[in-house]
Structure 1
Amino acid sequence: MIKYKINRRAFILPFVLVSVLLVSSCAKRNLTYFKDISQEKDYQLKDGIYEQPKIVVGDLLDIKISTLNPESNLLFNYGIVSSESGEGNQMTHDPIIEGYLVDSDGNIDFPTLGDIKLAGLTQEEAKLFLKNELASLVKDPKIDIRFLNFKVTVIGEVNRPSSFVVPTERITVLEALGMAGDMTAYALRENVLLIRETSEGKVIHRFDIGKKDILSSPYYYLKQNDVIYVEADKRKLNQANVNPNTIAGLTILSSLVVALIFNFNDIFK
């Protein structure tokens, strides 16, 4: 019987090349934040610019009025109104107001005052405006305004992509990423995208989370409805375009071929 001999090197070389390509697709990436900060010295960095958020259409505001008059407090804070009848003045209760929604015209419907425009004002400016409007009704009112739906969204290569309603308006990019469970190992840290809505349209800004410059950036502090999109590394995108069943099939086929190569002479003795 004729015995066949085969040059194993000729068959092994393509599989070595394929293996190198597979390994290179899993190459290590630098997952460190602020990699340009030296470990040998301390830094004094200028803090990012914080601007008090302005009230915009769609905001839900919690407005509390405190005065020396208990009846006024009930009126402005819980929707209690006074009405006249044959038996004299009576206090009747409307449903409790959960918040004041800023309508498409930038107004809220406030007890006694009616429609008042707050859109475009900061919290401090809105407090002063309300204080002046209430001056003829109550003496020296104290006003507190909070956002009830101050929301930021984090999507893409993070562990828990979602929209988050935050209890405070002072939130940073790092805090938002922390709420989303941090970036995954496939996250493209060099090209994080921030999308922000303004009165002039959408602003899109890209930054490198691996550099300390973000700490002093005007985009370090987020505003309501900001969206952070963390892009995926190209290697993951390439993997996503390949059917997992195809990868599994090729892996099994490669294993069988390699086994045949190393046992070829024995099989055909």
Structure 2
Amino acid sequence: MQPDSSQISTLYEQYVPKIQPSDILTIVVTAADPKVTVPFNPVNSISNGNMTQQVDMAFRPTYTVDNNGNIMLPMLGEIHVAGLTRLEAIEKIRAELSKYIKDPGVNMNFNNFRVSVLGEVAHPGSFVLPYERVTVLEALSMAGDLTIRGVRSDVMLIREVGGKKEIHRLDLTKQNTLNSPYYYLAQNDVIYVEPNKAQINNSKLGANTNIIISIASLIITVISVLTR
């Protein structure tokens, strides 16, 4: 990123990802007296031979946000969380828990915060993160950085908002990109690094070369058969 006169003023709080339908949330209820949290934290039973073993899943209870933006919590019932940030959802759940527990605590994290990096990077792929604070530069770093053939001035970001795909462009050669509302990523974002013209031309040349070789081989074979 080349320095310029831009003042870096991006605040993560301005662009905190919002909870969306199909998100998977890990939610744990805590309190000074752990016994009062039992009804709010799921416990699974598994069968082990002739014995039924209780396995405490209080550290990993997960809830999927339905198409209406709701989750179903034990005792509390249906709670609408879509459109809220993680901290806003925590406060909403704490307010409901306060009816049953004195000074409850709520730990919540995204369990499926995924970003994908494709195109001209060293290691393209999808990355599932245990946190939601991730920047486009960090995502590219996880993918091994751009190759020398990647276009740095026109990186594509694909984001789904309200069920519709949006495409945004980021110029990584300019410092002002740090002020972009898309510098911080949201869950399920896709980053695509396009190849430069030289790489595109090489790809075309490679394809044409194969065709030429195939045609030449065919001609040589035909001539060989006719001159026997």
TM-score normalized by structure 1? 0.67
Alignment pair present for 1:164 and 2:130? no
- How many residues are matched? 203
- CA distance in 2 between partners of 1:93 and 1:105 (Å): 33
Structure 1 residues 230, 113: CA separation in 2 closer, same or farther (over 3 Å shift)?
same
TM-score normalized by structure 2? 0.79
Letter in 2 for 1:141: P
- CA distance in 2 between partners of 1:231 and 1:133 (Å): 48
Alignment pair present for 1:148 and 2:111? yes
Aligned pairs for 1:188-203 within 5 A: 188-199=151-162, 201-203=164-166
Letter in 2 for 1:65: V
Structure 1 residues 243, 44: CA separation in 2 closer, same or farther (over 3 Å shift)?
closer
Alignment pair present for 1:127 and 2:93? no
- Structure 2 stretches of 5 or more lacking a match? 45-52, 217-228
- CA distance in 2 between partners of 1:138 and 1:65 (Å): 10
Letter in 1 for 2:39: L
Give the aligned partner of residue 222 of structure 2: none
Query: Are the equivalent residues in 2 in contact too, given 1:79–1:111 (CA < 8 A)?
Result: no
- Structure 1 stretches of 5 or more lacking a match? 1-33, 81-91, 254-269
Alignment pair present for 1:180 and 2:146? no
Aligned pairs for 1:1-269 within 5 A: 34=1, 36-37=2-3, 45-50=7-12, 51-79=15-43, 96=57, 98-199=61-162, 201-243=164-206, 246=209
- CA distance in 2 between partners of 1:240 and 1:122 (Å): 44
Q: Measure how far apart 1:93 and its partner are.
A: 5.3
- CA distance in 1 between partners of 2:177 and 2:8 (Å): 10
- CA distance in 2 between partners of 1:167 and 1:220 (Å): 19
Report percent identity of matched pairs.
44
- CA distance in 2 between partners of 1:70 and 1:37 (Å): 53
Rg (Cα) greater in structure: 1
Query: Are the equivalent residues in 2 in contact too, given 1:48–1:221 (CA < 8 A)?
Result: no
Aligned-residue RMSD, C-alpha: 2.8
Deviations 1:164-192 (A, max 9, x none): 11222111111000000001111011111
Q: Measure how far apart 1:95 and its partner are.
A: 7.4
Query: Are the equivalent residues in 2 in contact too, given 1:49–1:218 (CA < 8 A)?
Result: no
